[in-house]
Amino acid sequence: MVGRHGRLSFPDLSEALIEGLRLAGRDVIDIGLAPTPVVYFASYQLQTGSCVAVTGSHNPPDYNGFKIVLGGETLSGESIEDLYFRIVDGLLDRDGGGGLQSMDVAPDYVSRIASDIQLERPLKVVVDAGNGVAGGIAPQVLEAIGAEVIPLYCEVDGEYPNHHPDPSDPASLEDLKHSVDKFNADIG
C-alpha cells in the first residue's frame, strides 16, 4: 500500500518507490494522495499488513521521507538502519514482476469513521488544511459525522501558498482563528 502527501517532490518519489517495490516482486496498491492515517487505514482494511506513506510530516517543504509499516510493525531505529544497509549492500530482491493497481479508499475511510462517530448536536467547524493533503478528506469526514464545514485552504498545493500546514506553529493558526470568529464557528 503506497500513499503520498502533496509536496511537489512526492509524485516522483512515490513513482520511484513503487517501481522499486515492483522490481522486488511486490504487488503494490497505489492510493495516490492520502494523509498518513488513510494509508494506515487502507493497509488494515485491505489486509496488506504493509504500507508506505510518502511524507514530510510537519517538517519544512524541502524535507522528504517515508513512514513504513512492514508486517504490521512500524519501522524505526535499528529496523531502518537494517533496511538501509540491505539497500547499500544490494541484498534486496530484484526479480521483478510485482503488480500494480490504483484504488480510491477515501469513501471507505469516511464511511468507517461515520459509522463509529456521529455528533450529538450540529457543530460549525472551520477546517484549515494549510493546502496539505488532509484538505482533500478532512471536510468529507467532518460532514459525514454531522458537522457544518467551512473549508479554509483545503486545496492540496505542494507550494503551500497560504502557510505551511504545521498546527504546532502559532503563525499557522492566525487565519483559522480569524475565520472561527468571522463565521461564529464552534471550533477550528
Residues assigned a catalytic role: 57
User: What is the C-alpha separation between 42 and 110, in angstroms, rounded?
Assistant: 12
Tell me whether residue 81 is exposed, middle or buried, using C-beta atoms within 10 angstroms of its C-beta: 0 to 12, 13 to 18, 19 or more: exposed
Cell 479554509, residue located: 152
C-alpha cell at 76: 524505526
C-alpha cell at 106: 477515501
Sign of CA pseudo-dihedral 91, 96, 98, 100:
positive
CA 158 from centre of chain: 13
